[in-house]
């Protein structure tokens, strides 16, 4: 278990797994070695950014429309407030790379063991496929 105060600080993503509810298939949500950070501040703000380590390289200084699509599909970013409820942290999204995430809260059951933060059993809808999924994320405290 963890507490709200134990969440405070910045966490570096180690892994992000997704399990499709319908099929049970497990995959890496943003590739096998994502680059990501999750930051919880004592003032109640949360910020998250994750990108695939294998993001496509640009052919020039300014991304083309097709390159922009590939870049969008290889990232996640949002900011908002959070609350601590019954051993879960709930992210109340104010701004997001995906405007649909501003419609509902993101529920994140979590546990902390030393410098390790595990978010497990986090329900969601995969923004790329629309599938109902359950996420498991691992972070280390920075």
80-107 per-position pLDDT tens digit? 999 998 889 999 999 998 887 766 789 9
Contact criterion met (CB below 8 Å) for 1 and 87? yes
User: Cα 43 vs. chain centroid, distance in angstroms?
Assistant: 20
How far apart, in whole angstroms, are the C-alpha atoms of residue 137 and residue 14?
Answer: 8
pLDDT tens across 33-85, in order? 999 999 999 999 999 999 999 998 899 999 999 999 999 989 999 999 999 98
Nearest to 123 by CA among 105, 139, 138, 96: 105
Q: What is the pLDDT of residue 71?
A: 93
């Amino acid at each position: 278990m963890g507490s709200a105060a134990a969440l405070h600080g910045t966490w570096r993503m180690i892994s992000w797994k997704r399990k499709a509810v319908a099929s049970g298939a497990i995959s890496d949500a943003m590739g096998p070695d994502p680059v990501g950070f999750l930051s919880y501040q004592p003032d109640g703000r949360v910020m998250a950014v994750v990108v695939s380590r294998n993001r496509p390289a640009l052919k020039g200084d300014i991304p083309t429309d097709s390159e922009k699509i590939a870049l969008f599909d290889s990232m996640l970013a949002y900011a908002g407030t959070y609350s601590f409820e019954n051993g879960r942290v709930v992210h109340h999204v104010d701004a997001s790379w995906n405007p649909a995430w501003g419609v509902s809260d993101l529920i994140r059951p979590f546990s902390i063991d030393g410098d390790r933060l595990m978010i497990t059993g986090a329900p969601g809808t995969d923004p790329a496929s629309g599938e109902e999924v359950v996420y498991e994320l691992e972070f280390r405290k920075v």
